[in-house]
Amino acid sequence: MVAITLVAGAIASLVVMFLVFLAWRFTPQVWLADITEGRLKPPLKIAIPVTVAIAAVMLGGAIAPAWYLAAVDEVSFFQRFLVAWGVTLFINVVDLVIIDWLIYVKIYPTWMRLEGIEKLEGMRSHIDGFVSGVRPNLRLKAGAK
């Protein structure tokens, strides 16, 4: 079960990294809200397809191994849920460590630099995004104000 989670997480992470770098290279406007900490918004006609593609890979990468386990072995729903959650955790850790910290903060290649927008120093916004992607939202929306 752990091996399936790691293999599926690695494959999904590679595809997500490819999509992120492809989007950054050819449509950097998609990341304006992240880079400017919400001050600038990307055009929706560009942001929606990129977001849908990345979300589809993350969901597909999480659901496929859980579905595979259910087809080949008798596993509980909780075990399948753990595999799906493990894959998304793997993707988020790769995003934080490789994309955000290593490439964006430390290396910061010239093709990632946008004219007129300064580089974010530190990891605070990256860690906030990581935490929001990992922790389950346990608060009920109906009662929240």
pLDDT in tens, the chain (145 residues): 899 999 999 999 999 999 999 888 888 878 777 667 667 787 888 888 888 999 999 999 999 999 999 899 889 999 999 999 999 999 989 988 998 888 888 888 888 777 766 666 667 777 777 777 666 544 434 444 4
pLDDT, residue 142, reads 41
Query: What per-residue string of b and e applies to 54-71 under the rule 16 or more CB within 10 Å gives b?
Result: beebbeebbebbbeebee
pLDDT, residue 30, reads 80
Residue ranges of domains in the chain: 2-134
> Distance (Å, rounded) from C-alpha 101 to C-alpha 96?
6
Closest to 54 (Cα-Cα) out of 3, 107, 105, 99? 99
